[in-house]
Structure 1
Amino acid sequence: MSADPSAHDVWDVGAGYEAYIGRWSRLVAREVVAWLGAGPHGRWLDAGCGTGALGDAIAAQAAPAVVVGLDRSLGFVAHARGRTGGAGRAFVAADAQVLPVRDGAFDAVVSALVLNFVAEPARMVAELARAARPGAPVALYVWDYADGMEYIRRFWDAARALDPAAAALDEAVRFPICAPGPLSALLEGAGLADVEVRAVEVPTSFRDFAECWAPFLAGQGPAPAYAMSLPEDRRAALRDAFRAALPVAPDGTIPLRARAWAARGRR
Structure 2
Amino acid sequence: MARASQHDAWQAGDNYDRYMGRWSRQVAPRFLDWLHPARGLDWVDVGCGTGALSAAIVAGYDPKSLIGLDPSEGFLEKARLNVPDPRVEFRVGDAQMLAMPSQAADIVVSGLMLNFVPRREEALREMARVARPGGRVAFYVWDYPSGGVEFMRAFWTIAVDLDPAAQDLTENRRFPFCTRDNLAHLARQSGLAEVEDEEIEIATRFENFDDFWRPFTLGTGPAPAYCANLPADRRRKLREKLKANLPYADDGSIPFKARAWAVRGRAVE
Q: CA deviation at 1:83?
A: 2.8
CA distance in 1, matches of 2:3, 2:249: 38
Q: Which range moved further: 146-155 or 167-176?
A: 146-155
Q: CA deviation at 1:242?
A: 2.0
Alignment match, 1:13: 12
Q: CA deviation at 1:84?
A: 1.6
Q: CA deviation at 1:3?
A: 4.3
Asked if structure 2 preserves the Cα contact closer than 8 Å seen for 1:34 and 1:61, the reply is no
**1:1-267 pair list within 5 angstroms:** 3-146=2-145, 147-267=147-267
CA distance in 1, matches of 2:222, 2:127: 25
Taking structure 1 as the reference length, what is the TM-score of the superposition?
Answer: 0.97
Matched residue SS, 2:132: coil
Q: CA deviation at 1:4?
A: 3.1
RMSD of aligned C-alpha atoms? Answer: 1.1
Asked if structure 1 preserves the Cα contact closer than 8 Å seen for 2:197 and 2:264, the reply is yes
Q: Which amino acid aligns with 1:238?
A: L
Q: CA deviation at 1:244?
A: 2.8
Matched residue SS, 2:39: coil
Q: CA deviation at 1:142?
A: 0.7
Matched residue SS, 1:59: helix
Asked if structure 2 preserves the Cα contact closer than 8 Å seen for 1:205 and 1:254, the reply is yes
Structure 1 consecutive aligned stretches of length 4 or more whose deviation exceeds 4 Å: none
1:135-171 deviation digits (Å, cap 9, x = unpaired): 1111111111232100111111111111110011000
Q: Which amino acid aligns with 1:99?
A: L
Matched residue SS, 1:134: strand
Q: CA deviation at 1:40?
A: 1.0
Asked if structure 1 preserves the Cα contact closer than 8 Å seen for 2:55 and 2:82, the reply is no
Q: Which amino acid aligns with 1:156?
A: W
| Contiguous gaps of at least 5 residues in structure 1 | none
The size of the alignment, in residue pairs, is 266
Asked if structure 2 preserves the Cα contact closer than 8 Å seen for 1:11 and 1:220, the reply is yes
Matched residue SS, 1:202: strand
Matched residue SS, 2:263: strand
CA distance in 1, matches of 2:243, 2:55: 33
| Contiguous gaps of at least 5 residues in structure 2 | none
CA distance in 2, matches of 1:3, 1:163: 18
CA distance in 1, matches of 2:2, 2:102: 38
